[in-house]
Chains A and B, each alone.
Chain A
Amino acid sequence: DTGVSQNPRHKITKRGQNVTFRCDPISEHNRLYWYRQTLGQGPEFLTYFQNEAQLEKSRLLSDRFSAERPKGSFSTLEIQRTEQGDSAMYLCASSSRTSGNTGELFFGEGSRLTVL
């Protein structure tokens, strides 16, 4: 069990550029979540996948944001035309349906985005 892996760990970009983050969940986990965490705040839910299906999206996920999980394994989160307000830590988490809804999510270390 190698845990949830996120890449890149840090990304600095200029306003208007596109960025993409990747998340590799724990291999047997079929549920995958994206959260955003800004300074001084708790993580905020962005979107959720069960296998390859995106089942829920937060209103925080504007049309500049898109997430995919094409084969039900890794996931990508793309932000187009970045704005300074997008600067945050983007967290990925996974869980296994076989354990039932025990609420335990396993988090990666996050991808920190800085938009200049």
Chain B
Amino acid sequence: AQSVTQLDSQVPVFEEAPVELRCNYSSSVSVYLFWYVQYPNQGLQLLLKYLSGSTLVKGINGFEAEFNKSQTSFHLRKPSVHISDTAEYFCAVSPLFGNEKLTFGTGTRLTIIP
């Protein structure tokens, strides 16, 4: 079984400031890691994913995340946020083998302050 922990339920950040959204996971098997974003009144969109290879992955809209196996973390970062980044961000994992069933964290609401 897998579990995902997003300790920060809400993160307010000033526009153009950097941001880090934290994600830790627990799993008895190897997993793929994902960040999904949900803009107001919209469905979930894939932001980025880690499958294998380089532990630093880049996604859309200038976001990146770093996989740290020893710390079982997959934190999301952006060097300079924009008002349009206001959204709910979900970290998720799925097992390497089998179907793509995702286990999500509880989400982090990112609010950009003008």
Contacts and interface: CB of A to CB of B under 8 A. Distances in A.
B102 A103 contact: yes
Contact of A110 (B43, B45, B94, B96): B43
B32 A45 contact: no
Interface string A25-50: 00000010100000011111100101
B99 A42 contact: no
B43 A42 contact: no
A41 B101 CA distance: 17
B63 interface: no
Contacts, number: 71
23 contacts: A4-B43, A33-B101, A41-B106, A42-B4, A43-B102, A43-B104, A44-B104, A45-B103, A48-B101, A50-B99, A56-B99, A93-B44, A101-B32, A101-B94, A101-B100, A102-B49, A103-B34, A103-B100, A103-B102, A105-B44, A105-B100, A107-B43, A107-B44
B49 A105 contact: no
Nearest to A6: B43
A55 B98 CA distance: 11
Interface residues of A, number: 25
Interface string B74-97: 000000000000000010101011
A42 B51 contact: no
A109 interface: yes
Interface in B1-58: 4, 6, 9, 32, 34, 36, 41-46, 49, 51
7 closest A-B pairs by beta carbon, nearest first, are A42-B104, A107-B44, A107-B43, A109-B43, A103-B94, A103-B32, A103-B100
A54 to B, nearest CB: 12
B42 to A, nearest CB: 6
B44 A45 contact: no
Best-buried of A4, A31, A105, A107 by chain B (most CB within 10 Å):
A105
